[in-house]
Amino acid sequence: MDVEVEVDRLYQLAPDAFVEARNELVKRLRGAGEREGADRVKELRRPTVPAWALNQLARQSPEGVAALAEVREALARAQRRLLSGVKDSGLREAMGKRREVVGRLTEDAGTVLLDSGRDPAPHRQAINATLEAAAVDLEAWEQVQRGRLGRELPMPSGFGDVTGLDLIAPETEPPTAAGEQEETGEAEALAGAEREIAAAREAVEG
């Protein structure tokens, strides 16, 4: 018996069917002499409704989840360029893409809930927070992409860690008033986006 395949099937089930199916799988694994697999499956917890919706979204729209990885990479590159003092870091464009992709996937997950007869409204913030986390953090993205979330992820506190990324040598052209204004605008855009995430985090936690 392929335990990984069976576990994937569990996470495709509706939340209210999860526990019974999990317990049945544990019995079958023990009957087959796979005690280690049975013990691991026994520890699995029923997904929350937001987590379940995102698990189904990962299966139904893998290209959408892949777009989150592209967003994360673009944000990391833009932040690195901004910290390096490179003009035209692309931060505004990357942040705009983040909002677009996260917003679209939040709506898609809501559609999953509607199709299952559930009201998405009470779960929208938790879904959005998880997608925001996946848009800036590799580990969070991997959890979403795998489609085995047990619960929603917390809203990120910022744009993720750029530790280990080499800074880029800044351009050597003399600064101009327009260039300085552009750099100031991008720094303000970064600060504004950080405030946006903080406000959303407060809304989720409050």
What is the tens place of the pLDDT at every residue in 10-28? 999 999 999 999 999 999 9
Reported as a pLDDT band with limits 50, 70 and 90, residue 182 is low
User: 190 pLDDT exceeds 70?
Assistant: no
Which range is least confidently modeled, 88-97, 114-123, 124-133, 193-202? Answer: 193-202
Pair 120, 108: CB distance under 8 Å: no
Percent of the chain at pLDDT > 70 equals 76
For 42-63, letters b (16+ CB in 10 Å) and e give: eebebbbbbbbbbbbbbeebee
What is the 3-class SS of 7-34, one letter each residue?
HHHHHHCCHHHHHHHHHHHHHHHHHCCC
pLDDT of residue 205: 54
Residue 198 banded pLDDT, cuts 50, 70, 90 = low
- The secondary structure element, H or E, covering residue 56 is helix 49-60
Neighbouring CB atoms inside 10 A of 174's CB total 6
Q: Where in the chain are the domains?
A: 3-42, 49-205
Summarize pLDDT for 58-114 with one digit per residue, the tens: 999 999 999 999 999 988 888 887 777 777 778 888 889 999 999 999 999 999 999
Q: Assess whether pLDDT exceeds 50 at residue 169.
A: no
pLDDT at 24 (0 to 100)? 97
